[in-house]
Amino acid sequence: MFRSVFSRILTTFAVILLVCILLLVFIVARALYKENEEKEIDVLEITASEISFLLRDVQIRTEQSTQEVVERPAVVAMLNSFAQNVDTYTVVLQMDGTVLFTVSELWNPGEQMLSQETVSAILNDLRAYSISDLDGVLPEQRYNAFEVLHNDDGDFLILVSSRSGPNYDLANSVTMLMVAVAIWIIFVAMLCVFLVSLKITGPIKKIGDAAKEYATGNFSARVQIEGRDEISELALTFNNMADSLARHAESRKIFISNVSHDLRTPMTTIGGFVDGMLDGTIPPEQQERYLKVISGEVRRLSRLVNALMEVGRLQSSAEFEVSEFNLTEKARLILLSLIGKIQAKKLEIEFDAGEVDLFVLANPDSIHQVLYNLLENAVKFSNEGGRLDVQISAISGRKAQVRIHNTGASISADELPFVFERFYKSDRSRGLDKNGMGLGLYIVKSVLDKHGEPISVESLPEEGTTFTFTLPLSPNGR
């Protein structure tokens, strides 16, 4: 029952709501009962005060002793009337606890009803025994009120005791009303919690179902997005993740296809030429030409292996060792190494590095690869007779900025966010770079990420493409 998030949320809210309502009912009911008790005792105290006033008044008017006063028939009738009207009985005690007068059949005049200790406790606090059995004197817990009578012939203690408990009718009525209201509150609250929980757990279940589809290799499943809350953001993120997984799956397929082709083609060529030399199909005078072809294919295989090894190295946790080197000179030398390709495309070169070379703190070999990949791509994708601009400058924040721009075919806006992903090849790359594997820009991005530096790309139709990245300047700056 409690295996699902939905049932746990529903049960938790139900338990919390029920406990809170029961606690509220208990507190209110307890307060009403306490108030009724206080009112009952107040009534008894008023009765005791009226009896005290009556006895004092009669004693003053008749100038009789208190004993004589309580024996007067009119006074006895009055005291009996008090007892009948409020369902109580009255006892007039001397200060030693002896009964002077009683309307109860439990004691007779002259009997010791209360101990001296009990009387002393009552005189210290008239409400000390307001709900008690008077230290075992009464047969049960009763509501008691006391009043001290100060007459000319001494002090006396008046006790008014009620057998009936407080009137619980109002408290019971209010409690039952609260219970009825609580039932409706619980019903409405549970309905609301049910709907809210369903709204929360519904999309989560859909995400779970989509995840199961992804586990089988089906990345077409998507979660429908509704609203703009955190669940919707989770669904949007999940859909973006699915898009990324789909692209990676497609990239892996393309990568495997490319690698298979790049491995199979040179190996077939090498194997065929070697077999031809061994069986005499290729005459000795032509073997040198074919050995050059074999050498070229071996170098091609070497480049492929090196690229795969570089990807593996970048994915490891090894950190780069940084040192100070001349960034401007390194870019200049790499550009010179590409002079053959540049001349073949008849490109116009603009190299702007300022008057003083810039020195940076980075890993020289890795940055060499970054510059080489970016410059080689710029030459490769430039239009024939186009332009290649390389700008190296110092910017604020003690950074050196490298900007490489080439004219030619642009990258579409839909493809720009993915150009640095592993194995990704844009449409223009498929047309111009049939031997590439989509690893060059991924390596560039990975190297700069390990240096903690950003790289950005801009591409506009008829203007070309620009890659920009930064590196930290060395303490000497230049």
Tens digit of pLDDT for each residue in 290-304? 788 788 778 767 766
- Higher pLDDT pick, 340 / 244: 340
Q: Distance between CA 386 and CA 349 in Å, rounded?
A: 9
pLDDT in tens, 407-443: 988 888 888 888 887 656 655 454 445 455 567 788 8
Per-residue pLDDT for 404 more than 70? yes
Distances (CA, A) of 301 to 147, 259, 263, 463: 114, 10, 7, 35
At residue 167 the predicted structure's pLDDT band, cuts being 50, 70 and 90, is low
pLDDT in tens, 319-361: 678 899 999 999 999 999 899 899 999 999 999 988 889 999 9
- Higher pLDDT pick, 52 / 33: 52
| pLDDT for the residue numbered 51 | 85
Give 72's DSSP letter: S
Question: 348-352 and 387-395 as β-strands: parallel, antiparallel, unpaired?
Answer: parallel
pLDDT in tens, 114-133: 888 888 888 898 888 888 88
Average predicted confidence (pLDDT) for the chain: 80
| pLDDT for the residue numbered 401 | 94
Q: Distance between CA 285 and CA 109 in Å, rounded?
A: 152
Rounded mean pLDDT of 201-228?
74
C-beta separation of 9 from 193 below 8 A: yes
Question: What are the structure tokens assigned to 249, written together?
Answer: 């799956």
Rounded mean pLDDT of 243-264?
70
Give the DSSP per-residue string, 213-270.
HHHTT-----PPP-SSSHHHHHHHHHHHHHHHHHHHHHHHHHHHHHHHHHHHHHHHHH
| pLDDT for the residue numbered 4 | 64
Question: What are the structure tokens assigned to 204, written together?
Answer: 């989560």
C-beta separation of 8 from 2 below 8 A: yes
At residue 46 the predicted structure's pLDDT band, cuts being 50, 70 and 90, is confident
Q: Distance between CA 130 and CA 135 in Å, rounded?
A: 12
Which range in 80-84, 356-360, 460-464 is most confidently predicted, on average pLDDT? 356-360
Rounded mean pLDDT of 298-322?
68
Helix, strand, coil proportions of the chain in percent (round to 5)? 55, 15, 25
Question: What are the structure tokens assigned to 448, written together?
Answer: 């700069």
C-beta separation of 233 from 226 below 8 A: no
Give 126's DSSP letter: T
